[in-house]
Homo-oligomer: A and B are copies of this chain.
């Protein structure tokens, strides 16, 4: 057999290797697993055959045989093109990889059926746990049954969602309070508020209701002052422009993320408004976008890194048989820059 052929990608298994080396599969397995009880000579021979054929044992079969898991963690996320989720997945991935886990990733958007399908697939793949990021949506009957059901197979970790049920662990950011307090703070100088958002996620709703509650507490009426737009700066700018005159000169805007805040800032500058003198703008996520604009955006930092770290730490404990709290909350904080 010439070199050319040896390197051919014929899928080798342990039987082929054993045959070629003139030993039993048990022996091949032993050298694969560095068992001390193999003679140097045999070991060398087997190793050379393995090398020649570029043989790599199947982790799948090893796990089956050893009754061990594949150290797989499923991540189901809402939308990876949103920097927030991308950052979350990135943080989780690196943290989990350091602990010897591997990631199966699925992005599902708002479609709960797709989400359900993804979770079922992950369970089928024997994942040790699944992590949902900002992707808790109700099913057609308005409940979380599909999550409760999934949790019978492995722990479910939810980031920025809250489900109280057996074997489900929620980690979320108190966006409600953050926005509510932000309204109070802005109320010191402003009266004409506007809230812009672009998604009906759990945390999106916390922000929205936080805004409404804050306004009411300040004796203001939130009606007509919460607007949904598409997830682009342009859409935010257009919505802002549409409503600016109607609502008698808006002077305080909070947005559900920094991209929308940038859009509002653009529209405000286009109108020759002075920021923050004429209008204050506060974004959300404290992302790199805040530093891409002139002036830089003030933004609410939702402690994503902390959230992800806590989630992975919690998950690690669970996988080690320890128990953890069902619900963990992180407090966000306002980061002041130039737009407020």
A residues neighboring B (CB under 8 Å): 7, 9, 54, 56-61, 63-64, 70, 72, 75, 79-81, 83, 86-87, 89-90, 93-94, 97, 102-107, 120-121, 123-126, 149, 152-154, 167, 232-234, 258-259, 262-263, 265-266, 269-270, 288-289, 291-294, 296
Contact = CB atoms under 8 A, between A and B. Distances in A.
Can you tell how many copies of this chain the complex includes?
2
A87 B61 CA distance: 34
A54 B288 contact: no
21 contacts: A9-B152, A9-B154, A56-B120, A57-B124, A59-B124, A61-B64, A64-B64, A80-B86, A80-B89, A81-B90, A90-B107, A93-B107, A97-B106, A97-B107, A102-B125, A103-B105, A233-B288, A233-B291, A233-B292, A258-B292, A265-B294
Given A106-B93, A262-B292, A81 B87 contact: yes
B291 A234 contact: yes
Given A79-B90, A80-B86, A153 B56 contact: yes
Nearest to A85: B86
B288 A266 contact: no
Nearest to A94: B107
Contact of A60 (B7, B125, B152, B262): B125
A83 B75 CA distance: 19
A72 B269 CA distance: 49
A124 B56 contact: yes
Nearest to A80: B90
B54 A64 contact: no
A58 B126 contact: yes
A270 B72 CA distance: 49
Nearest to A288: B259
Nearest to A83: B83
A147 to B, nearest CB: 14
Contacts of A293: 262, 266, 292-294
Nearest to A114: B97
Nearest to A297: B292
A93 B80 contact: yes
Contacts of A80: 80, 86-87, 89-90, 93
Nearest to A120: B56
Contacts of A90: 79-81, 86, 107
Contact of A149 (B54, B106, B262, B294): B54
A117 to B, nearest CB: 9
A154 B58 CA distance: 13
Contacts of A79: 90
Given A80-B90, A104-B105, A293-B294, 20 more contacts: A7-B152, A9-B152, A59-B124, A60-B126, A75-B105, A80-B89, A80-B93, A81-B83, A83-B83, A93-B105, A97-B107, A102-B125, A233-B291, A258-B292, A259-B288, A262-B291, A266-B292, A266-B293, A269-B294, A292-B293
A81 B287 CA distance: 10
Contacts of A54: 149, 152-153
Contacts of A149: 54
B123 A56 contact: yes
A51 to B, nearest CB: 11
Contacts of A107: 90, 93-94, 97
